[in-house]
A and B are shown apart, each in its own frame.
Chain A
Amino acid sequence: MTETTKITKDAIPENMVRIEIDDKEMIVPRGSMVIEAADKNGISIPRFCYHKKLSIAANCRMCMVDVEKVPKPLPACATPVMPDMKVFTKSKRAIDAQRNVMEFLLINHPLDCPICDQGGECELQDQSMGYGRGVSRYVDSKRVAVDENIGSLIATDMTRCITCTRCVRFLDEITGTDELGGIGRGDRTQIGTAVGRSIDSIMSGNIIDLCPVGALTNKPFRFKARAWELMSAQGVSMHDAIGSNLYYHTRQGKILRTVPKDNESLNEAWISDRDRYGVLGQDAEDRVTAPMVKENGEWKETDWATAMDLAVRKLQANDAKNTAVLAGNQSTNEEYFLLSKLFKALGCANIDYRLGQSDFTQASGLPRMDLNLDEVGNNQQIVLVGSHVGHEQPILAHRIRQAWLKNGSKVSIFNPKQYHFNFETFHHYVGTQIEWVNGLGSLAHCVADLNKVKLEGELGEWINAQATDENLNNLAKALVNKDSNVLFVIGQISNNHPQAGLIKAVVAWLSSQTDGKVYEMATGANAVGAQICGMGSQNSVADILASDSKSFLIYQAENDDFNNAYGAQIKLEDADSVVLMASFADDNMKQVADVILPIGLASEVAGSYFNNFAQMQGFGPAAKLPAETKPGWRVLRVLANMLNVDGFTYDSIDEISSEVALLTVNKGEIDTNIKVKAQKADDLVLFNETTIYDVDMLARRSQPLQDTVHASTDNLNINSVDAKKLGIENAMQIIVNQKVDGDTITQSLFANIDDKVPAGSVNVHKCVGLRTDALNVTLIVGDSV
């Protein structure tokens, strides 16, 4: 008999039922499956095809259990619980069924675990230890499958596949990209793509974790280490501000791969490919691992004392007013805290981390965030404002897709390019960088008319000046409907837009009119942390580049991070002194810097990040610091002492973290009382796009990511209508001229005719070196070159 106390009938709520599994009594939700009940109560049932986040396929038959009064074993993953059901997972009938299934599964599966990359962490291997026979009775030939090349991230060994279809279901249900399927039939079914395609989903790496056998494995990690040689260390995403939780797997102090750590409120059970493979940028050729100084134009490695001495002298070359600190957005809070504390103590007001932005009118606080990530799905109307969401915060895109799929949320979009999304769109407004902002204004105008409000102030005047139209009026009607929750997502395209302040003000105004919420994306993994730690409250990067600053400290940043990469390079070339504290130094940085102090990446140091929701998440060092590299906070501490600044007596990172934790976090707000900066199109309007794997130093250097279809190109994408007008054909060389502040930036690019770009617009990737803040460009084509 059971030892647990009997549950009386009255104690069971309406929507629950009482069952027993292996004599253990439990109350579980009506309609749930036996396997879920078992999992929740710590009773293990073997399985291959079942996964809590995917639909039920019940095709592997490994989860057979014995149910009282049922004449044959049943699959636990597809058997709903019934009142007073009695399930036995270890009875003779259950175990026999499981053993038989195992024998069939192993018929076509190679028995060569020692040469399989999954060996040691394979669900099939584990379970065949428990349920398999010592020696196979099968003597006939086994099925063999031909491998496909599905891209640079995932290795295939399809002979090992047991056709559980977890990968197929993931790509259908979660990413919505449907790249894999079951080809053929019966015992010859193979999992494959539709003839030689690659898997291009931005979350594709998760099928590696899902695959219970060694059929899909991590390509860059292939044959690098065995599971039992690896240490696991907790980390936080270094590429976007969702703050996805993950584990780094290291051997001898080196990160070899990344896997997700479940966090139901953030990344659930997944991570994006950027988070999985981005860290591999750590080994790039231009990694600096020893302090270096420049002597007569030549770089020489030296010891820390010499380099620090020089750095101090360089930083003292000018008074604090003419000194500036420019930082990237993926360092730890602790580093930002010390940086801003040190330079503020010195009297320096030129500190910024918003290197990619150009309009700072609404960027001096935290991003406005009216909800938690897991509340995104509660909104019936979601409006994306200037966002290629999957490429900016992949996990947010996943949440929006689930909202569309499960709750029927309607998603509308305002963008400068016709991106493909994995959810249906309700209204998809595409126009040039100038047109779509005006379109947003038109929407506001429609809302104002529907709500009969008087528009006031500069913003009101601007909204009033935008034409209303039928289509947008439909959207407006849906948004003002009292019964629907509305969410506005301000994306990174908006953040980097020269009219960012206006866009945000319109959104804030719209949210006030529709009772909506605002999700303002941060650009950069720890941009929020940088803001909280005081890196952004002073002069903006644009002010700094226009100022007389002559001494610079560049902290974990490089040329490609700047909106105005060209201007930044010139400014740094002209500077008296440039101290670079970074993990990498490319040729551009080496050209301008005088001394390089090598510091660790966030994956190599202890510290913390703030995510988009202002949650502080700490982590320890996962990897060993390479060679002479030191944690940034230690270097800053010593630097402070050498510069004779008080208050830098920290002996451990924890002391700094606890000070960071005490900082006040002011809720992000958006002002609607603004000055409107108008933009006018002269000729073609530029959309300068930061692509998914070009967001930071680390992702830029990850070769597996750069080998995917999502890598940046030096194409000039142009609509076929404009191409025809200008006589442009594919692959033609085109000269682009961008005029700004009396300067002209010129780049030579290759034409690519693409109707995803709206007419009147040209689209380039940020890495080609044009500025994001000047929208007007002219092209020189063909003979006139």
Chain B
Amino acid sequence: MYQVNPQEKDKTLANELLTAETKAHIDGWLTKYPIDQRRSAVIGALHAAQEQNEGWLSKDIMTAVAQYLEIPPIWVYEAASFYSMFHTQSCGKHKVSICTNISCMLNGAEKVVEQAEKTLGIKLGETTQDGKIMLVKEEECVAACVGAPVMLIDGHYHEKLCEKEIDKLLAELKEKD
């Protein structure tokens, strides 16, 4: 059943918070699905909203997305809390996610986590004091098992990691603004 229950017509937050760019982006996603399955546009919409909101999704901006898509707010919140690429708390500018799923785990992902935590002085899920770098709490298989262990920095893949490589990557990241 794809039916969407009738929603309150209130669009205050959507109009207030979403930029024209985000709205255009969401509109693009909406054209890809039949109107009664517009729930499917939620992931694309959340990406756009997260981008406009300094990399994280506040309660208000999620509600704004729900209003814009005319779907229940809980559906937006469910999706946002399910996927590791969405952040429901304010977070660092740069995101480092280390895959800890099976292939990477067998190839030493735990060590990678340990090293990253030590180098940055924070635990998984935390952000460095200067607000620059965040270690994403949990990353499941990113579909690059051939290159395990894998680390993502701001969405870019770094594969077959070794100690030296990790040090280099993190040092470079610290230099970035």
Query: Taking beta carbons and an 8 Å cutoff, which residues of A are in contact with B?
Result: 55, 172-173, 176-185, 193-197, 405, 420-425
Contact = CB atoms under 8 A, between A and B. Distances in A.
Given A184-B82, A185-B81, A193 B74 contact: yes
B74 to A, nearest CB: 4
Which interface residue of A176, A181, A194, A425 has the most chain B CB atoms within 10 A?
A194
A424 B3 CA distance: 11
Given A195-B77, A420-B6, A422-B6, 17 more contacts: A55-B1, A177-B72, A178-B5, A178-B72, A181-B74, A182-B78, A194-B59, A194-B66, A194-B72, A194-B73, A194-B76, A194-B77, A196-B59, A197-B73, A421-B6, A423-B6, A425-B6
B148 interface: no
B75 interface: yes
B62 interface: yes
B63 A194 contact: yes
Contact of A183 (B1, B8, B81): B81
A703 B1 CA distance: 38
Which interface residue of B66, B73, B74, B76 has the most chain A CB atoms within 10 A?
B74
A522 B6 CA distance: 27
Interface string B70-103: 0011111110011000000000000000000000
A420 B8 contact: yes
B62 A194 contact: yes
Interface string B141-152: 000000000000
Size bin of chain B's contact surface: 10 to 19
B80 to A, nearest CB: 9
B72 to A, nearest CB: 3
A172 B5 contact: yes
A195 B8 CA distance: 18
Which interface residue of B63, B66, B82 has the most chain A CB atoms within 10 A?
B82
B1 to A, nearest CB: 7
Contact of A195 (B1, B5, B59): B59
A193 B73 CA distance: 9
Contacts, number: 50
Nearest to A179: B74
Contacts of B74: 178-181, 193-194
B72 A185 contact: no
Interface in B47-72: 59, 62-63, 66, 72
Nearest to A196: B59
A181 B78 contact: yes
A183 B77 contact: yes
Contact of B6 (A173, A194, A424): A424
Contacts of B1: 55, 173
A687 B74 CA distance: 33
Contacts of B76: 194
B6 A181 contact: no
A388 to B, nearest CB: 15
Contacts of B78: 181-183
Nearest to B84: A185
Contacts of B81: 183-185
Nearest to B66: A194
Given A185-B81, A185-B82, A422 B73 contact: no
Contacts of A180: 74
Contacts of A197: 73
8 contacts: A55-B1, A177-B5, A178-B72, A184-B82, A194-B74, A194-B76, A420-B8, A424-B6
Contacts of B82: 184-185
Nearest to A197: B73
B69 to A, nearest CB: 13
A424 B59 CA distance: 27
A405 B75 contact: no
A113 B1 CA distance: 37
A337 B81 CA distance: 60
Which interface residue of B59, B75, B77, B81 has the most chain A CB atoms within 10 A?
B81
A194 B73 CA distance: 6
Contact of B5 (A182, A183, A422): A422
Contacts of A422: 5-6
Contacts of A185: 81-82
B122 to A, nearest CB: 21
Contact of B75 (A181, A196, A420, A423): A181
B35 to A, nearest CB: 12
A181 B77 contact: yes
Contacts of B3: 405
A452 to B, nearest CB: 36
A181 B3 CA distance: 16
A405 B3 CA distance: 8
Contacts of B59: 194-196
Contacts of A423: 6
Nearest to A425: B6
B125 to A, nearest CB: 13
Contacts of A193: 74
Q: Which 5 A-B pairs have the closest CB atoms?
A: A178-B72, A181-B74, A176-B5, A194-B73, A194-B77
Nearest to A418: B9
A629 B62 CA distance: 55
